[in-house]
Amino acid sequence: MPAPNFPSKRAPVYQNVPDEQWNDWRWQMRNRLNTVEEFEKVITLTDSERKALSSPDLFRVEITPYFVSLIDPDDPNDPIRKQIVPTAGEIDAFTGMMEDSLAEDRHSPVPGLVHRYPDRVLMLVTTQCASYCRYCTRSRIVGDPSATFSRADYDAQIEYIARTPQVRDVLLSGGDPLSLAPKVLDELLARIYAIPHVEVIRIGSRIPVFMPMRVTDELCETLQKYHPLYLNIHVNHPNEITRELAEATDKLTRAGIQLGNQSVLLAGINDCVHIQRKLVQDLVRIRVRPYYLYQCDLVEGAGHLRTPIAKGIEIIEGLRGHTSGFAVPTYVVDAPGGGGKVPLMPNYLISYSDHKVVVRNYEGYITTYEEPTEYKLHDPKTCKYCQSKRIEPGQAGVHGLLDGDAMFIKPDGYDVLHNRGGGMHRLRADGEKWKPLGIGEKKDK
């Protein structure tokens, strides 16, 4: 099978830059564009873009020379351009927008660490990126040098993970973890890897897309020391898949790194089933499995990039059955207020009863599936896996089951967070029963 043949571009203004410099990720970082004058050397700015770039109130603007070279300089609707060059639309207020739309600060037991799900945590290790997306969920802190994380913050994050045994999965994000100094990244990974109950480390990064030259042999050697390690990149449009990105993902996969892709559904950029089909098919060609397609968050200044939920469902319907099943991402809404990711999909289940299920396929073909007439229910009382996860009153820092529902107890021993009825509820132990815990009430010691 021939190797994928993807384009490689370099804007005219960079044609005389020696390859040694162009392919140096540190040179790319030092020469990022952030002013009207710098952008006008590469693309023809619109009045809206010029106004936005001149505004001191928008969050940070940066773009690597490599990534700006992928833009059609004369097309104001270029899909890459609309992701990273601000417009006056960001200045306008939008109803329902939120500074911290995912309530991450509310789920942060120590600075920079988010513990929303029972068995996994999010570590925010930097506020810096190679380039800045106009729809960034963390625009409240990303790009702000005063909001960065210190060594003391890292110590507190890792200490929390070490004393919280239900945490088996740690995700590094930010900002972009691959923007950290190599020694700092190596040290963080080593400290997390040394915690016995951590089973998986994940990194979320757009740097391989913004700046694929960051994926050096040295980086791959560092990452492969900490298997199992998963890296989710962030590609939104087929135009972002270049020869350089394909070479970077080839290096990573050869180092044993499992690659996935998280994209965001964006109006006027990728809100088209044909674009999405091309995107996911090109991703699997470079050995990156589509993972999530996110509904754009309620981010201040990003209202002009949001689509209706119905558009995302339409796109998933246009992918399912029309391309490989493993190339179809899960379409999710990250529920505002800290509710976590909610998967959404077309309705293929038409009806069901105690003996028959009526379903349709991607072509609209309707058929029935006969349910079994005899089924011996799973007995959690005799299941060693269920019993090993059962929680007794007074146990702290244990993930388990309560009446069949997932739950976990915060390590301080005071609160129980119980996932019932679509939300996390506070409970306390009272003898052999769990009862709702009132606001401000502490669990009896």
For the question of residue 133 being annotated catalytic, the response is yes
d(CA 392, CA 16): 69
* Residue (of 347, 245, 331, 249) closest to 295 by Cα position: 331
Residue 296 bears catalytic tag: no
Active-site choice (134, 136, 277, 282) = 136
- CA torsion sign, 89 to 237 to 253 to 221? negative
CB 202 within 8 A of CB 230: yes
Q: Please, which residues bridge with residue 98 across strands?
A: 299
**Set 100, 129, 186, 292: catalytic member:** 129
129: annotated active-site residue: yes
Q: Is 444 a catalytic residue?
A: no
Is 136 among the residues known to form the active site?
Answer: yes
SS3 content of the chain, % helix, strand, coil (to 5): 30, 20, 45
Place of tokens 């070479």: 247
Q: Determine the Cα–Cα distance for residues 269 and 75; give it in Å rounded to an integer.
A: 13
- Cα distances (angstroms) measured from residue 157 to each of 109, 137, 140, 163: 9, 21, 20, 10
d(CA 71, CA 79): 8
Catalytic hit among 32, 81, 82, 120: 120
Q: Where are the alpha helices (DSSP H) in 198-340?
A: 207-210, 217-223, 243-254, 273-285, 309-319
φ/ψ (deg, to 5) at 349: -95, 115
Q: Is 300 within 8 Å of 98 (Cβ atoms)?
A: yes
The answer to whether residues 185 and 178 touch, using CB atoms and an 8 Å cutoff, is yes
DSSP letters spanning 166-177: T--EEEEESS-G
Q: Is 5 exposed, middle or buried (0-12, 13-18, 19+ CB in 10 A)?
A: exposed
Catalytic residue among 287, 341, 410, 426: 341
Q: Looking at this protein, which amino acid is placed at residue 21?
A: Q
Supply φ then ψ for residue 291, to 5 degrees. Answer: -115, -65
Are 295 and 312 spatial neighbours (Cβ–Cβ below 8 Å)? yes
Q: Catalytic site residue 341?
A: yes
Q: Which residues pair with 54 in a beta bridge?
A: none
In the set 133, 206, 277, 296, the catalytic residue is 133
> Which of 32, 66, 78, 117 is an active site residue?
117
* Single-letter amino acid code for the residue at 373: T
- Cα–chain-centroid distance for residue 157? 19
Residues designated catalytic: 116-117, 120, 129, 133, 136, 138, 297, 334, 341
